[in-house]
Amino acid sequence: MTEEYAGPGERALALVRGAYDLHVHTAPDVLPRSANDVEVARRFAHRGMAGFAIKSHYSPTAGRARLARFVVPEVDVLGSICLNGPVGGLNPLAVEIAAREGARIVWLPTVDAENESPSRRPPDPQGKRPVWAVLQEDLQRTGVPWEPVRVVDGNGRPLPELREVLRVVARHRMVLATGHLSRDENCTVVEEARAAGVRWIVVTHPDFPTQRLSVEDQRQLARAGAWLERCFGTAHSGKISWEELAEIIRAVGAAHSFLSSDLGQVHAPPVEDGLPLLAERLLALGFQEAQIRTMVENTVRIARLEGER
């Protein structure tokens, strides 16, 4: 962890009761994780939280989510698929199968996005590399090729494969998350997704260094019908200051934002603490309880497909 950790207080725990965390990294995974699906589900049940979405950069998780729901039926564990290289990138068949298995969220390329290419990735001020970047380098050393997954052509126009994926997402009424795309790619994808009939669109951590969308960009995406994700992990790891994150949320509006953790890393706080710790930070920065509850309620709207924009 990059800062001294303290568990959340009762006020914050009460504020996030009934929430979903729509961005959780659990085991089993290719990368080391702090807890497995069932452990996290049991902790969420103890906290009175509604559910969470399992995110893996490499493998579909709908089957894992179904098993976790079987073991802990009082917690709504959601599956997903990330359209990185291991599933064939922008592969509509992979999305179709994931949907039929019960996946709720489709992430566009994350670690394999062209925007995450080493030449484009801003240096970490602490000199750290993401664990997934270390994995990519190891794969390349062993002769496994790595190619970015592109969503637009050289002129910025949506690729046919992207349009095919969006049609599958719309037909199965899934949530589309933009992954680690660039600013221009985000804008293009949201426009295309709306045109394709996708009704639940999430802009993945727009305050992350490789995205870092301006306030006006975020407002524009909100007007286009997208939800803006506010991750505990982005500020906790020092990628943005808590004060700047708070200013952005205020400027864009709590009504267009939702809370998530992006936790599961072995040296981070426990997954179940992500949302209450984020709520606690925002309270300390002057947010009203009603604003935080709005962002909590938005997690439920998105998870249960009640938040059509």
pTM: 0.94
The residues that bridge with 211 in the sheet, in sequence order, are: none
What integer pLDDT is reported at residue 119 of this predicted model?
60
CB 184 within 8 A of CB 156: yes
Asked if residue 60 has a cis previous peptide bond (ω within 30° of 0), the answer is: no
Radius of gyration, alpha carbons of the chain: 18
Residues 66, 102 contacting (CB under 8 angstroms): yes
Please tell me the predicted confidence (pLDDT) of residue 2: 46
Q: 114 exposed, middle or buried (CB, 10 Å; 0-12, 13-18, 19+)? A: middle
> Tens of pLDDT along the chain (309 residues)?
445 667 899 999 999 999 999 999 999 999 999 999 999 999 999 999 999 999 999 999 999 999 999 999 999 999 999 999 999 999 999 999 999 999 999 999 999 999 998 766 666 656 677 888 888 888 889 998 888 999 999 999 999 999 999 999 999 999 999 999 999 999 999 999 999 999 999 999 999 998 899 999 999 999 999 999 999 999 999 999 999 999 999 999 999 999 999 999 999 999 999 999 999 999 999 999 999 999 999 999 999 999 776
Residue 131 confidence (pLDDT) = 86
